[in-house]
Each structure stands twice: as structure tokens, then as C-alpha cells.
């Protein structure tokens, strides 16, 4: 901790310490990220079963919980998938949106501000308010984590991911709905409370490439990584966060922790995941939150922004 001007001690996230040049010794206290009070009625609880042990277990819910609560007026269930997939089969009562509608690959301040406005309109069109309990699911891609990250960046804490997505819900044996989502009564723009510590912008990433207190995680395939990556990044392909067989549940907490620690991504570091457009790496950001990593900021511009800029350094080849 460091003294503030009023004599009190100030808490710092590791990210704030890096940018302020504060030493990262044992005397420093990290921000524990206390959650704001949840106002919605259908507050998610940890899923039961083999995957207990997560530090932030309420970030995942199982299919039975969703089925038990999906008619709660405070809850909005969102299928994060292409429209044609959604219209073939979805959880009854779901809204629908796909990741291209929420994409942002220019992380300049002006672009992020414009993107927030557009995202707020889209979320309002889905019937989401800051007091909603949001459950996001996919068709087994794990990409529901992208909507989770967007809402978390906007300060929406009461958001959770359906573990296993639509394949897990089908295992309940309940008839899915088909066709388009129903209309939302009187949609209004979503007004969030942006949390800048959850977003990494290109200029910040450029400034900390040599910092030993930072871990950059490339969530793309090994071949994409070999073809070109951010210098110093380590590669861990995003599907490895889940079990390989459908419904592709998230791996147990101890297995995930060991997997990340094996590549040098430890909980004491400030971690920046990226991929090509920030969708696959949102799975990484979600997983790290799930197992208790405190300082994680998604580089949403990812390789599409980084690789197109002639002034950014690039590396090729396998990781050392």
C-alpha cells in the first residue's frame, strides 16, 4: 500500500501499480474487487457437481438452474449465436445476439466510447437493464463468455454463463423452442458503469511488453501463433479451457490452475488475453476470473488491430 494525500493507505491493483511504477513487493496489497450489491431476484448460485472448487463459482450455472429460473421476470437469457442456429433451436424465452454485432477491434478512446453507446442500445433492445440477471449461452462454442465480458466491462456484475451451453440444456430432455425471439416490451438504452481495468487498449499493451509482472496470453491456435503474435505472449488455445467432449463443460478448477501455471501465467501477474478479434480470448478472461485471477484485462482489439498497425512489434515462431 502507499500513503494517500489524506494520510490513509491506498489499495492498488497490480495493473495500477505497474503504470504508477510502484514496487510489487510483499508490502503491496492488491484490490480484491468486491462485487457491488446485486439487485435482481434470480441471483445465480454455484453449479453443483464435479467442477466445484472455482473461486468465483457463481460465474457458471448449470442447465437445471437455468430451467428452474428462466421465467423469473428479473432474468434475461441470451443465446449468443448466429441467428440461423438460434432459430433452429433455443432455450424458450431467450433473446438472441451474435458476436459480430458487438465487435470492436479499434481500441482508441474515441472508438471505445462509440462502441459503448452502440452496445448499450443493443443490450436495451434485448430487454437487459442494469438490474437484470443475465444468463448467456452458446451452441457449445464457449463464445458466450464474450457477452459475459462485455457486460462485466460495463459494470454489470450479475451475469453468468450456462456451463455446457445449449448441448447441456438439451440433456434435460425438454423440447427447445424454434423460430425468432419474441419482442421486448419498451426497450430502452442500457446505461452501464464502465470498468476500464477490464479492458486493455493497444497503447497500454505496447507500453508494458517488457514488464515481468505482466503475462500476455494468445488464445488462438498454435499455427496462428506461429504465423505471428505479440512479442512475449504465451499460447494456450481457448478450447483447452473446457473438456473436449460435448457438452464441453469447463474443466475443474485445479486442472485449469495447473494448466495456466505451467505456461507461467500465475495469479500474481497482470494478465492480458488476446486472440484475433477478442471473442476467443474472452473465454480465457472468463476462465481466469472463474479460478480467481484478480487482474485480467481483455485486449479486445487483439491481433486484427495489432497486426494491422505498422508500428507494433511482431514475433513469429513457436513459444520458447
Examine the pLDDT at 312 and tell me if it is beyond 90.
Answer: yes
Catalytic positions: 275
For residues 37 and 23, the answer to whether their CB atoms sit within 8 Å is no
pLDDT tier for residue 229 given thresholds of 50, 70 and 90 = very high
pLDDT greater than 60 at residue 12: no
Per the listing, cell 513469429 goes with 316
Average pLDDT over residues 128-150: 97
d(CA 320, CA 316): 11
pLDDT at residue 36 is higher than 80: no
Q: Please determine, for residue 138, whether its predicted confidence score (pLDDT) is greater than 50.
A: yes
Q: Of 5 and 142, which is predicted with more confidence?
A: 142
Q: How far is CA 209 from the centre of its chain?
A: 22
Mean confidence (pLDDT) of the chain: 87
Q: In this predicted structure, what is the pLDDT of residue 69?
A: 95
- State the architecture of 196-308 in CATH terms: 3-Layer(aba) Sandwich (3.40)
Cα(38)–Cα(280) distance, rounded to whole angstroms? 28
Q: Domain-by-domain residue ranges, the chain?
A: 1-32, 57-170, 196-308
Per-residue confidence (pLDDT) for residue 282, from 0 to 100: 98
Q: What share of the chain is helix, strand, coil (3-state, %, to 5)?
A: 35, 15, 50
Q: What pLDDT shows up at residue 232? A: 97
pLDDT (average), residues 259-273? 98
pLDDT of residue 43: 62
More confident residue, 21 or 197: 197
Give the model's confidence band at 135: pLDDT under 50 very low, under 70 low, under 90 confident, else very high. Answer: very high
189 or 203: which leads in pLDDT: 203
Q: Does residue 245 register a pLDDT over 70?
A: yes
Q: 57-170 with 196-308: one CATH topology?
A: yes
For 55-73, write each residue's pLDDT tens digit. Answer: 999 999 999 999 999 999 9
> 12-18 contacts: CB < 8 A, separation 24 or more?
13/197, 13/270, 13/294, 13/295, 14/213, 14/268, 14/269, 14/270, 14/294, 14/295, 15/197, 15/270, 15/295, 15/297, 16/197, 17/213, 18/208, 18/211, 18/213, 18/214, 18/270
Homologous superfamily of domain range 57-170: Rhodanese-like domain (3.40.250.10)
Map residue 218 onto helix, strand or coil.
strand
Contact 187, 80 (CB under 8 A): no
User: What pLDDT does 184 receive?
Assistant: 83
- CB of 176 within 8 A of CB of 150? no
Is the pLDDT confidence value at 32 over 50?
A: no
**Given the C-alpha cell 489524506, which residue does it identify?**
6
Mean of the pLDDT values across residues 279-303?
98
Q: Report the pLDDT averaged over residues 34-44.
A: 42
Amino acid at each position: 500500500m502507499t500513503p494517500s494525500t489524506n494520510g490513509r493507505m491506498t489499495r492498488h491493483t497490480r495493473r495500477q501499480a505497474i503504470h504508477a511504477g510502484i514496487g510489487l513487493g510483499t508490502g503491496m496489497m492488491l484490490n480484491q474487487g468486491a462485487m457491488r450489491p446485486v439487485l435482481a431476484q434470480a441471483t445465480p448460485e454455484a453449479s453443483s457437481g464435479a467442477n466445484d472448487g472455482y473461486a468465483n463459482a457463481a460465474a457458471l450455472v448449470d442447465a437445471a438452474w437455468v430451467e428452474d429460473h428462466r421465467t423469473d421476470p428479473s432474468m434475461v437469457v441470451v443465446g449468443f449465436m448466429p441467428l440461423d442456429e438460434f432459430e433452429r433451436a433455443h432455450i424458450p424465452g431467450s433473446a438472441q445476439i451474435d458476436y459480430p454485432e458487438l465487435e470492436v477491434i479499434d481500441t482508441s478512446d474515441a472508438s471505445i466510447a462509440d462502441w459503448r453507446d452502440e452496445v448499450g442500445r443493443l443490450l436495451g433492445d434485448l430487454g437487459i437493464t442494469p438490474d437484470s440477471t443475465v444468463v448467456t449461452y452458446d451452441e457449445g462454442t464457449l463464445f458466450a463468455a464474450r457477452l459475459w465480458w462485455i457486460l462485466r466491462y460495463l459494470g454489470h456484475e450479475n451475469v453468468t454463463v450456462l456451463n455446457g451451453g445449449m448441448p447441456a440444456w438439451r440433456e434435460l430432455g425438454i423440447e427447445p423452442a424454434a423460430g425468432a425471439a419474441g419482442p421486448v416490451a419498451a426497450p430502452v438504452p442500457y446505461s452501464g458503469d464502465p470498468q476500464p481495468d477490464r479492458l486493455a487498449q493497444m497503447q497500454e499493451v505496447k507500453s508494458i511488453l517488457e514488464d515481468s509482472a505482466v503475462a500476455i496470453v494468445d488464445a488462438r491456435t498454435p499455427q496462428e501463433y506461429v504465423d505471428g503474435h505479440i512479442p512475449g505472449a504465451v499460447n494456450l488455445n481457448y478450447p483447452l479451457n473446457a473438456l473436449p467432449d460435448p457438452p464441453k463443460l469447463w474443466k475443474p478448477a485445479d486442472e485449469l490452475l495447473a494448466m495456466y501455471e505451467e505456461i507461467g501465467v500465475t495469479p500474481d501477474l497482470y494478465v492480458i488475453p488476446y486472440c484475433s478479434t477478442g471473442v476467443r480470448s474472452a473465454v480465457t478472461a472468463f476462465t481466469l476470473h472463474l479460478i480467481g485471477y484478480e487482474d485480467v484485462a481483455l485486449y479486445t482489439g487483439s491481433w486484427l488491430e495489432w497486426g494491422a498497425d505498422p508500428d507494433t512489434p511482431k514475433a513469429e515462431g513457436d513459444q520458447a
